[in-house]
Amino acid sequence: MRKITTFALFATALVALGCGAGATDEAGSSGGDAAEDKPAKTAKIGQAARDGKFEFTVKSAKCGVSKVGSDLLGAKAQGQFCLITVNVKNIGKEPQTLIDSSQKAYAADGTEYSTDSAAAIYANKDQQTLFNEINPGNQVTGVLVFDIPKKVKLTKLELHDSPFSGGVEVALS
């Protein structure tokens, strides 16, 4: 089931990319808008941070989790799971899909970690929370899952509205 699920998620991401979802004219842009309309470049847990057409608010971060899901269906961490609960609001004028594989986490030494999409299915009660299109003005809350070594501590996230956007940083400590 894990291979089929991962393939389905990969196919969803490819369809979203092929249809132009996530393409923004704001990625990498540094001018044009009033300075007070843009949040700080680095946010903290509980603060809104914008990248392109999405406004992200990291609600919580919990590391040290060894397994997600139930006894029958679940995923076991290679090291430890870090569960990042995030609210995502579409602030644009068109539907947009959040792609979890575009989100990154970093340790203090700069090591980059990617999400575990298969584990995220088990960590989210509504399996499609982070993969459905979000209509303008709507928001969803879901869990991003990172499988990192047991002794590593994450210090920041880099959240993106698309694989090609500039991203916004959120400090975890």
Domain definitions of the chain by residue range: 2-171
- Residue 15 one-letter amino acid: V
- Residue 69 one-letter amino acid: G
The position carrying tokens 């609210």 is 87
Token pair listed for 170: 């959120």
pLDDT the model gives residue 2: 42
| Measured torsion, CA atoms of residues 7, 8, 9, 13, in degrees rounded to the nearest 10 | 100
Out of 2.60.40.1240, 2.40.50.140, 1.10.3720.10, 3.40.50.1820, which CATH number does the structure's domain 2-171 have?
A: 2.60.40.1240
pLDDT the model gives residue 132: 77
**Rounded distance between C-alpha atoms, residue 112 and residue 123, angstroms:** 21
**Each residue's pLDDT expressed in tens, for the chain with a length of 173 residues:** 444 343 334 333 333 334 334 333 333 333 334 444 444 478 999 999 999 999 999 999 999 999 999 878 899 999 999 999 999 999 999 999 999 999 999 999 999 999 999 999 899 876 566 677 899 999 999 999 999 999 999 999 999 999 999 999 999 98
User: Does this model's pTM top 0.85?
Assistant: no
Token pair listed for 123: 């960590």
- Residue count of the chain: 173
pLDDT the model gives residue 126: 65
Contacts of 163 (CB under 8 A, 6+ apart): 17, 22, 99, 101, 102
